[in-house]
């Protein structure tokens, strides 16, 4: 599948499916994506998996390859990302990598529509592929947009967007998944306030 066709698929997806699914912005923000947090001395790992979006046929929830995964690794010392990683179907077209875009809800009369932010879609190459999936790993959560050479802070996008879109190709077919971010934002605030809270200096006796 060509790069141009992938970008068109992403634009059509954001303009049609999102507009239909966000008539009630508050209802969209209440969509729950379950995040798991594992903490260790080095830091905390926030992770989730969601069933991929519709691609002309329903995904099989019993097939682990049909899920899109997200990992956000936060360092205890810096309280910043060590990396952000996306996991998709191992059958994905490896030379294309994935496209990631962020969207916010905007009022359109009495309803809400999702609109891609000004950075548009960011192409991220796969760093590895195996039997379980293909991974696109972004060190420090900072990716350089190839066409503009602009550095994109993905954690900032996660915290200030309503949804992240993940698109990959399998053969000639695009697979598109929307992941609401409100539950990530709530869990992230808890991790920062509790799990990665700065250590308090002991009080003098």
Residues 6+ apart with CB under 8 A from 44: 37, 38, 73, 74, 76, 191, 195, 196
Q: Can you give the pLDDT at residue 205? A: 61
- Sketch the domain layout of the chain as residue ranges: 3-55+65-195
Q: Can you give the pLDDT at residue 12? A: 46
Render each residue's pLDDT in the chain as its tens digit; 205 residues.
444 445 445 544 444 444 334 444 544 555 679 999 999 999 999 999 999 987 878 899 999 999 999 999 999 999 999 999 999 999 999 999 999 999 998 877 767 778 888 888 899 999 999 999 999 999 999 988 766 778 899 999 999 999 999 999 998 899 999 999 999 999 999 999 999 998 755 555 6
d(CA 143, CA 187): 23
Instruction: Report domain 3-55+65-195's class.
Output: mainly beta
Q: Can you give the pLDDT at residue 128? A: 97
d(CA 156, CA 142): 10
Residues 6+ apart with CB under 8 A from 171: 1, 93
Q: Can you give the pLDDT at residue 172? A: 86
């Amino acid at each position: 599948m060509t790069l141009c066709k992938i970008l068109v698929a992403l634009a059509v997806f954001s303009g049609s499916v999102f507009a239909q699914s966000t008539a009630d912005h508050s209802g969209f923000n209440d969509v729950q994506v379950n995040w798991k947090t594992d903490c260790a001395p080095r830091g905390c790992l926030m992770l989730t998996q969601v069933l991929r979006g519709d691609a002309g046929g329903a995904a099989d929830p019993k097939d682990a390859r049909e899920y899109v995964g997200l990992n956000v690794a936060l360092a205890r010392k810096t309280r910043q990302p060590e990396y952000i990683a996306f996991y998709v179907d191992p059958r994905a077209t490896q030379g294309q990598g994935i496209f990631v875009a962020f969207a916010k809800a905007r009022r359109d009369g009495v309803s809400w529509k999702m609109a891609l932010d000004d950075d548009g879609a960011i192409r991220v190459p796969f760093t590895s592929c195996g039997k379980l999936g293909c991974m696109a790993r972004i060190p420090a959560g900072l990716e350089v947009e190839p066409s503009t050479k602009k550095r994109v802070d993905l954690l900032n996008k996660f915290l200030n967007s309503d949804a992240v879109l993940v698109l990959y190709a399998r053969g000639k077919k695009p697979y598109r998944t929307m992941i609401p971010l409100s539950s990530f934002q709530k869990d992230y605030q808890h991790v920062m306030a509790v799990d990665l809270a700065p250590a308090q200096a002991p009080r003098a006796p």
